[in-house]
Amino acid sequence: MNIGELSRRTGVKVVTIRYYEAIGVLPVAKRTSGNYRSYGTEHLRRLRFVRRCRDLGFSLDQVRDLLRLSAEDRPSCAEVCRMAERHRKSVEDKIADLKRLASELRRISASCNGRRSMADCRIMEALSCS
């Protein structure tokens, strides 16, 4: 399949596919006699895997590690489990931070009715305090 078809079938933009090739996350495609990239089912599977990892918030370095681990002949998937657990913890920490942020924004937004002069704006006052 050509790069456009691979893009359509995976939902990954053409420019991103080229980038993934350039950084080694996706194997470089063979070229046709007309010098077009030609992708196979291995590219499709790999790109779907990368896309799913990225959708779950894994960094490209983490994706590389997962790909490396999947290619190794290991007795167990313990390292993959540890990576997923660390990532889950990181996501939960970010969620907690965002909840604190939302609470603070609710608090300072509630202090302003939008009718004061800019000099007396409670939100501007709250943002100016440390």
Query: In this structure, which topology does domain 3-128 adopt according to CATH?
Result: Multidrug-efflux Transporter Regulator; Chain: A; Domain 2 (1.10.1660)
pLDDT of 128 reads 86
| CB < 8 Å & 24+ apart, contacts of 67-70 | 67/25
Give per-residue pLDDT as tens, 55-70. 999 999 999 999 999 9
Residue boundaries of the structural domains of the chain: 3-128
Read off the pLDDT band of 130 (50, 70, 90): low
Per-residue pLDDT at 74 exceeds 90:
no
What is the reported pLDDT for 79? Answer: 93
Region of 126 (left: φ > 0; alpha: ψ -120 to 50; beta: rest) is: alpha
Q: List, for residues 104-123, the tens digit of each pLDDT value.
A: 899 888 888 888 888 888 88
